[in-house]
Each structure stands twice: as structure tokens, then as C-alpha cells.
């Protein structure tokens, strides 16, 4: 049922998902879908739920931060495999209550708390981690141009920049020269910045992250 929708969206992008088109892909007359599903939003919720279920929430790891790192990378991988998912999760039009998303939030919060971080540090750490996983990945998806696919676009873009944005032009050239990468992806760099910071604050002064209520 929903698998067809995922297939359609995976190859055509999110804007190619319409009830009529989905119906055609299933060999059925489009309005027949309303017998199996309440409305289009329910389909969107469903495919996001399915995708998020692919994330490995309980990787084997020696410490809480290594486990956090592994599950964050797993989530990042999954979201890159379905580039439309981030946008759907973060799209501010509706608040979606998606089971797999709740399990995922709970997993992060639980790991931070059980690691012995203070309530304040858990509170802020959760925001930093979750927003990085979803936000960075969406950023990445939006800024990644298949350079091999349209090299002239990049070339003319670089020329248009002219001398006005020399630093930006240089940055783009660094992206193009991706042969010399050493495996530390952009995603993991900022992730480690966050994890390092949490570890440091947590060990230095376990109850002074500043900010939110102490909670329970």
C-alpha cells in the first residue's frame, strides 16, 4: 500500500506524489485510495514512519556517546537514502505524530539521561543532536548538486560569482575537489563538535549547563 508511495517518491521526488498518480501506479482509479486511507496526509505520515523505522536505534557501542554517534550516523544514512523525508519531517505545516519518530526521540533522550547528564544538559543536548541530524541532513540534501550531472551549472555559477564572493567561490571549488576527502564527512564533523561539547560540560560541571528547568 504505502510501499508503492515510497517507490514513487524515491525516484520522482516528493512533488510527484499525487493521489491520481499514485492510483495510476497501482493500476487503480485514484479515488479508490480513499477506501484504504483517510487522506493524503495519512499517506505522508505513513511513508515517513516506514522510513524512520529503518534507523538503528540500538547499535552496539562501548559508551553512550559512541552509541549516540552510531545511531545518528544510521539516521543520517537512512535520510540520505530517502532525500524527501527530512523535508517532510521538518515541514512546518502540520505537527505530525509518527510512532517511529517518537521512538527515536525517546531513544536520544533516554541515552542522554541514563548517561548521567543533568536534566539541563539532556534538555539542550537533545535539541542540539536532533536538530543537527534532521537540519544538517536537509541542508545537505538541498545543497548537494549532482556535480557530475550538470557540470556547466556549477561552472557558470562560479563565473557569475565573479569577484564579489571570492571565499564562496573557493569553498565551492573545495567541494568539487572531493577526491581528497578522508572519510570524516561534514555531517560527522559537527556531530563530534556537539558530542565533544556535551561530554566536556558533563564531566566538568555536571549540573551547570545553564538554562532550562531542572524538571523532575
Partner DNA sequence: ACCTGAACACCGTTCAAGT
Among 3, 7, 13, 32, binds DNA (CB under 7 A): 32
Nearest CA among 59, 65, 52 for reference residue 188 = 65
Residue closer to a second copy, measured from CB, 22 or 104: 104
Q: What is the DSSP letter of 211?
A: S
**Binding map of a second copy across residues 66-95, x = CB under 8 A, - = no contact:** -----------------xx--x-xxxxx-x
* 80-93 per-residue burial string, b: 16 or more CB within 10 A, e: under 16: eebbbbbbbbeeee
> Under the criterion CB under 8 A, does residue 132 sit at the interface with a second copy?
yes
**Binding map of a second copy across residues 143-172, x = CB under 8 A, - = no contact:** x-x-----------x--xx--xxxxx-xx-
Q: How far is CA 174 from CA 55, 99, 177, 181, 184, in A?
A: 31, 40, 5, 10, 15
Residues between 40 and 79 with contacts to DNA, criterion CB under 7 A: 40-41
Residues between 30 and 69 with contacts to a second copy, criterion CB under 8 A: none
For residue 51, the minimal CB distance to DNA (Å) is 19
Kindly indicate which of the ranges 23-31, 37-45, 54-62, 116-124 contains the residues binding a second copy, using the contact rule CB under 8 A. 116-124
> Under the criterion CB under 8 A, does residue 123 sit at the interface with a second copy?
yes
For residue 135, the minimal CB distance to DNA (Å) is 26
Q: How far apart (Å, rounded) are the C-alpha atoms in residues 17 and 15?
A: 5
SS3 of residue 71 by DSSP: helix
Among 1, 42, 81, 110, binds a second copy (CB under 8 A): 110
> Under the criterion CB under 7 A, does residue 21 sit at the interface with DNA?
yes
Grid cell for residue 100 = 517511529
Kindly indicate which of the ranges 17-25, 47-55, 60-68, 102-110 contains the residues binding a second copy, using the contact rule CB under 8 A. 102-110
> Under the criterion CB under 7 A, does residue 13 sit at the interface with DNA?
no
Q: How far apart (Å, rounded) are the C-alpha atoms in residues 16 and 50?
A: 19
User: Residue 150: CA atoms inside 13 Å, Cβ hemisphere, count?
Assistant: 7
> Under the criterion CB under 7 A, does residue 155 sit at the interface with DNA?
no
What is the 3-class SS of 134-149, one letter each residue? HHHHHHHHHHCCCCCC
Amino acid at each position: 500500500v504505502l510501499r508503492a508511495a515510497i517507490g514513487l517518491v524515491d525516484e520522482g521526488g516528493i512533488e510527484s506524489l499525487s493521489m491520481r498518480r499514485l492510483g495510476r501506479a497501482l493500476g487503480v482509479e485514484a479515488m479508490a485510495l480513499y477506501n484504504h486511507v483517510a487522506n493524503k496526509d495519512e499517506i505522508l505520515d505513513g511513508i515517513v514512519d516506514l522510513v524512520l523505522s529503518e534507523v538503528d536505534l540500538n547499535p552496539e557501542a562501548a559508551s553512550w556517546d559512541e552509541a549516540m554517534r552510531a545511531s545518528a550516523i544510521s539516521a543520517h544514512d537512512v535520510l540520505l537514502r530517502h532525500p524527501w523525508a527530512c523535508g517532510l519531517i521538518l515541514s512546518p505545516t502540520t505537527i505530525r505524530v509518527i510512532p517511529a519518530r517518537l521512538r527515536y526521540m525517546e531513544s536520544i533522550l533516554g541515552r542522554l539521561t541514563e548517561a548521567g547528564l543533568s536534566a539541563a544538559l539532556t534538555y539542550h543536548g537533545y535539541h542540539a543532536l536532533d536538530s543537527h541530524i534532521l537540519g544538517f541532513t536537509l541542508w545537505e540534501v538541498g545543497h548537494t548538486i549532482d556535480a557530475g550531472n550538470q557540470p556547466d551549472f556549477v561552472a557558470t555559477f562560479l563565473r557569475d560569482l565573479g569577484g564579489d564572493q571570492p571565499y564562496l567561490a573557493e569553498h565551492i571549488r573545495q567541494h568539487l575537489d572531493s577526491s581528497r576527502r578522508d572519510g570524516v564527512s561534514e555531517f560527522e564533523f559537527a556531530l563530534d563538535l556537539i558530542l565533544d561539547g556535551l561530554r566536556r560540560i558533563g564531566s566538568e560541571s555536571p549540573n551547570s549547563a545553564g538554562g532550562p528547568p531542572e524538571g523532575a
